[in-house]
């Protein structure tokens, strides 16, 4: 919320300051748009492929991967929300559905009774292991095969720098 006492009034701001807009080079704008288009296309293709070949939603796969990599194959719901790479909206409903399917279970966090843990079940681990080859093949097909060895290093470095910036 803007503090009305310290925010400058429109009369305090010069015309040049009001009219100044951030600028971006054509190359940067093009890179941004290409990133958005590539991300959408790759996610759409991976989602479709995983659903068609394995009957598993990409969001479910993402949750299973995050839990498989966590100590004890469990995370607090807040940690899981921060860790998932895809949409965080509706995580509670997503976990409800995955729990009904027997892939995860919820439990009270013993160290903090207010927290809830999401824990991968043995069925969830089996489902992840079953779906992983199709997903990896999709990542190779939709992403990795389009980059040569030198490009992989540059893309990884650039995206890591962006990811770690905030």
**Distance separating alpha carbons of residues 72 and 55, to the nearest angstrom:** 26
Residue 60 near residue 80, CB atoms below 8 Å: no
**pLDDT higher at 96 or 9:** 96
pLDDT per residue over 63-92, tens digit each? Answer: 999 999 999 999 999 899 988 976 767 888
pTM score, two decimals?
Answer: 0.81
30 Rama sector, left if φ>0, alpha if ψ -120 to 50, beta otherwise: alpha
Between CA 24 and CA 137 the distance in angstroms is 36
* pLDDT tens per residue, range 123-138: 999 999 999 999 999 9
**Residue 20 Rama label (left phi>0; alpha psi -120 to 50; beta):** beta
Integer Cα distance of 48 and 50 in angstroms: 6
Half-sphere exposure of 133 (CA within 13 A, CB side): 4
Residue 12, both tokens: 């305090």
């Amino acid at each position: 919320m803007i503090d009305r006492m310290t925010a400058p009034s429109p009369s305090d701001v010069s015309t040049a300051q009001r009219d100044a807009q951030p600028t971006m080079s054509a190359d940067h704008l093009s890179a941004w748009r290409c990133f958005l288009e590539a991300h959408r296309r790759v996610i759409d293709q991976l989602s479709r492929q995983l659903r068609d070949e394995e009957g598993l939603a990409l969001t479910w796969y993402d949750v299973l991967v995050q839990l498989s990599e966590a100590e004890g194959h469990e995370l607090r719901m807040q940690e899981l929300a921060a860790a998932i790479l895809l949409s965080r909206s509706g995580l509670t409903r997503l976990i409800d559905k995955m729990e009904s399917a027997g892939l995860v279970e919820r439990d009270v966090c013993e160290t903090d009774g207010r927290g809830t843990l999401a824990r991968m079940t043995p069925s969830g681990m089996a489902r992840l292991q079953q779906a992983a080859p199709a997903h990896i093949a999709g990542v190779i097909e939709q992403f990795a095969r389009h980059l040569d060895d030198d490009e992989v290093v540059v893309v990884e470095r650039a995206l890591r720098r962006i990811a770690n910036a905030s």
